[in-house]
Structure 1
Amino acid sequence: MKPKKLLIVISILMIGALLSGCGGGRVIGATSWPGVSIDEDTIFVAYNTEVYALKEADGSLIWRYPEEPNARRAFFAAPAYAEGLLLAGDYANSLTALSPDTAAIKWAFNGAKSRYVGSPLLLDDMILAPNADHNLYALDLQGALKWKFEARQALWSQPISDGDVVYLASMDHYLYALALNDGSLKWESDMGGSIVGSPTLADGVLYVGTIGSEVVAVDAETGKDLWRFATTGEVWAQPVVHDGVVFFGDLRGTLYGLDAKTGAQFWKVENAGQVIGAAGILENGVVFATEQSGLKAFGFDGSPLWSLLINGKLYGSPKITDQYILVGVNEGDAIVVAVDFGGNQRWAFQPEKK
């Protein structure tokens, strides 16, 4: 699929749940892709109208939420877990805190005016929830609003924080740095293209991919560019930094390893398959989820390790546990697949229809 066409398809998938809610029936067909998160031996998956908790060992179902799915309430963002809370944002403008053990509702925040596309970030005493209504909402752990910050356009990615500053990427091309305690603006920097994925912070430097076909390194203190690297295609994925190397893929199917300090290219692999999500870091290399070519693992030097073709489309980021690589699947036989570190599928989960 051509990159521009893929961008259109992905955007349609993202808003599909919102539009499908105009009818009274249950959502028919895929309207998003599975958002996967992990906590020790439990896997949480948000997909279409439900959130699931699975056992990591075999993918068996622990619970599903809600008991009665509502076509007007679809989930896209991967659930976020911390401090005994599981947070699930939906396309009906609600952020719901659940018990991670039972899915019992603890509270809900209904102050946003649009859908949650990016996952919330849970800190020690604060929740940072980005919303498509342009606002970042800062809540306490009981769901009360502490402050909010309004960007120029929609927020589709999870913010990151170093404990004092919040770094926020927006579809308006801007990267923002905010004071964590009150949301006041410290600096803003125009990246030259919409930012869909989260930034990455490593050693005082922010790394950002843009739809303007660039990866940009930014001084986290000042917001000034340190270097820019032009890619062959649009970069939706969050760059990942490991041992001084920046790993990412683009929508033309090119994978990269760059010098984190200078932006110099160490290696690239072409025609690997279009990449939407961040790379996963393994002990011996990196693994990418590609739209139609499955999982592909490479050594840290770009040499191929293994590949696994999975039935369906992979739009999310592979999640790494002690045992498995987990990936959400769209339009396939399952919504989550677990793969061992040698590239062998171990289990798959497909929910029973209600």
Structure 2
Amino acid sequence: MKRKYLVLVLVILLNVNNSNVFGQQEKSGTISAFRNRVFKGEKYMPLGDLKWSFKTDGKIFSSPIVHDGIVYIGSEDGNLYAINEKTGKIHWKFKTGGAVHSSPAVFKNMVYIGSFDGYYYAIDSKTGHLKWKFKTGGEQWSGEIGFLGLKPVDKYMDDLWDFFLSSPVINPDKQNPSVFFGSSDGNVYALNANTGELKWKFEAKGSIHCSPVLYKKTLYIGSWDANLYAIDMETGKERWKFQTGTQIGFKGIESTVAVANDMVYFGARDPFLFALNAETGKLVWKYDAAYSWIISSPVVDNDVVYVGTSDTYALLGLDAKTGKEIFKFKANGYVYSSPAIAGETAYFGDFTGNFFAVNTKSSGKEWNSFSTENRKLFSPEILNNNLLDFSYVVKEGDISMYDTNKAVMDQFYKLGSIVSSPFVTNNTVYFGSADGNCYAIELQNKK
């Protein structure tokens, strides 16, 4: 039984381009792990051999960035790691007081990251020493009493599909640079990027775990209150907001927006992918994901929107102007990883520990994949015909119980699930896995 079906059963039981370029070094020297993941490239480049893997002591939900020969990535073990791009050897690590599910941003000689200990940090990129830290109102997993109607109904439960913390974005003003991020406390913060001093904060009505995107002096960010907000970068005042669906089991925004050609694209749990006018917030089109949450963050390249889906296990390619489906590639499990596009190749991972390279010009027919070490070990006992299958793992368990659902998710994690989003540079793709590894995979130059 897939999760979407579980949600529907529980509802019944309840009776109820001007696009930002990800990973490219801008003139300001700023790179961040949540912008449009579009990289230079021309042709289809399938996956080659494993270059190296670096093992941490916790699951990796953070997405890597590479800057000046160093790979930066966070881990659930509480550390931000700086890893040599060529060798996979550690350069330094910085210990926080909680899991690091946020993804890093680099500006000048500082790396910015958030932690479940409730702090956002600025760290010297050369030495790994703390520059400053800022205390939010607290970071936590999203959740509620009787989550999705699961039993016992009076118990507080963490959302089992809430993977991320908000990642920082930098406005690289020479005189007065700012860093922006959201928080579980429901606020969007603007700080002085050099000192960590608070400039302003904006209050939403729910936790914020997706990441802000800055476009034409406007900050775009979603919340668990199901609203997407457009906020003035300088004043912190709301310009507009757009509400998505609020049905039980289908509420909240985890997807970080992509902005291209004055359009804002993002997914929601309700479950649609939306295209809005960036200036007014008016709906242009929406794509029905067929009861499949869209947690993956979209990417826009050559007037195509690429995004992953949960229960339909798909990477979608949609016409950016109309929302018409151009192609659909079926993976083996939930696609929460946000794709990276390099030339004619889409790179992304799924929840079964498979990482794919798909030729976007082949209608999804040409592709290859890399399996995490854990997937190779555990797929025979966990997967059903090589596919993620909730009911197959539940067996005789009581699916109405929260602990049963958590146990199933823990089994899935054993596969080395990939929710980390890839970074492509120097003919290598980098990504993290729930098996605790940061992987570096060489790319093949097809002739």
Shorter-chain TM-score range: 0.7 to 0.9
Residues 1-354 of structure 1: pairs in structure 2 closer than 5 A: 1-2=3-4, 57-66=46-55, 72-110=57-95, 112-141=96-125, 142-154=127-139, 156-163=165-172, 164-232=177-245, 233-272=251-290, 273-293=292-312, 294-300=314-320, 301-331=322-352, 334-342=353-361, 343-344=363-364, 345-352=366-373
Q: Which has the higher helix share?
A: 2
Please list the CA deviations of residues 210-244 of structure 1 after superposition, one character each: whole Å capped at 9, or x if unmatched. Answer: 11111110000000000011111311101111101
The answer on whether the counterparts of 2:38 and 2:299 sit within 8 Å (CA) in structure 1 is no
CA distance in 2, matches of 1:263, 1:3: 32
Alignment deviations for residues 146-186 of structure 1 (CA, whole Å, 9 cap, x no partner): 11111112181210001110001111110000001100000
1:76 shift after superposition:
2.0
Question: Are 2:308 and 2:316, in contact at CA under 8 Å, matched by a contact in 1?
Answer: yes
Provide the C-alpha distance between the structure 1 equivalents of 2:294 and 2:5, rounded to a whole number of angstroms: 10
Instruction: Specify the structure having the higher radius of gyration (Cα).
Output: 2
Cα shift readout 1:90-123 (whole Å, capped 9, x = no counterpart): 122122211011111111112x110100111122
**Is the contact made by 1:196 and 1:236 (CA closer than 8 Å) also made in structure 2?**
yes
CA contact (8 A) 2:205 2:225 kept: yes
Change (3 A) 1:38 1:93: farther
Looking at structure 2, the residues matched to 4 and 292 of structure 1 have their Cα atoms a distance apart, in angstroms, of 11
**Which amino acid counterpart does residue 280 of structure 1 have in structure 2?**
V
CA contact (8 A) 1:316 1:327 kept: yes
Q: CA deviation at 1:271?
A: 3.4
- The structural deviation recorded for 1:5 is 5.7
State the shift of 1:208 in Å: 0.8
* Uncovered stretches (5+) of structure 1, i.e. residues with no partner: 7-36, 42-55
**Identity in percent:** 29
Q: 207-216 or 339-348, which moves further after superposition?
A: 339-348
| Distance in structure 1 (CA, Å) of the matches to 2:191 and 2:139 | 17
Q: Is the 8 A contact 2:166 2:211 kept in 1?
A: yes
SS of residue matched to 1:161: strand
Q: CA deviation at 1:3?
A: 11
Letter in 1 for 2:183: S
> Any unmatched runs of 5+ in structure 2?
9-36, 141-164, 246-250, 378-447
| 2-structure distance, mates of 1:297, 1:39 | 17
Rounded Cα–Cα distance in structure 2 between residues aligned with 1:290 and 1:159: 24
Letter in 2 for 1:128: Y
Q: Check whether the contact 2:289–2:309 (CA below 8 A) recurs between aligned residues.
A: no
C-alpha distance in 1 between matches for 2:5 and 2:276: 22
Q: If the length of structure 2 is used for normalisation, what is the TM-score?
A: 0.64
The 3-state SS of whatever aligns with 2:134 is strand
CA distance 1:264–1:204, change in 2 (3 Å): same
- What is the root-mean-square deviation in Å for CA atoms of aligned residues? 2.3
Structure 1: how far apart are the matches of 2:39 and 2:281? 33
Give the aligned partner of residue 33 of structure 1.
none
Question: CA 1:320 to 1:39, structure 2 compared with 1: closer, same or farther past 3 Å?
Answer: closer
User: 1:101 and 1:38 mapped to 2: Cα distance?
Assistant: 22
Aligned AA (2:293): Q
In the alignment, is the contact (CA less than 8 A) between 2:60 and 2:76 conserved in 1? yes
What is the aligned length?
304
- CA distance, structure 2, for counterparts of residue 195 and residue 137 of structure 1: 18
Tell whether the 8 Å contact from 2:83 to 2:92 is kept in structure 1 after alignment: yes
SS of the aligned residue for 2:47 comes to: coil
Flag the 1:89–1:298 CA change in 2: closer, same or farther, 3 A: same
Output the amino acid matched with 1:253. P
Q: Using a 3 Å threshold, how does the CA distance of structure 1 residues 304 and 38 change in structure 2: closer, same or farther?
A: closer
Q: Give the deviation of 1:74 after TM superposition.
A: 2.7
TM-score between both structures, scaled by the size of structure 1: 0.80
Change (3 A) 1:304 1:39: closer
Distance across 2 between alignment mates of 1:38 and 1:349: 21
Supply the distance in 2 between the matched residues of 1:316 and 1:171 (Cα, whole angstroms). Answer: 21
When residues 259 and 131 of structure 1 are mapped into structure 2, their CA distance, relative to the original with a 3 A threshold, is same
- Residues in 2 aligned to 1:280 and 1:252: alpha-carbon distance in whole angstroms: 20
- Whether the 8 Å contact between 1:59 and 1:348 is mirrored in structure 2 is no
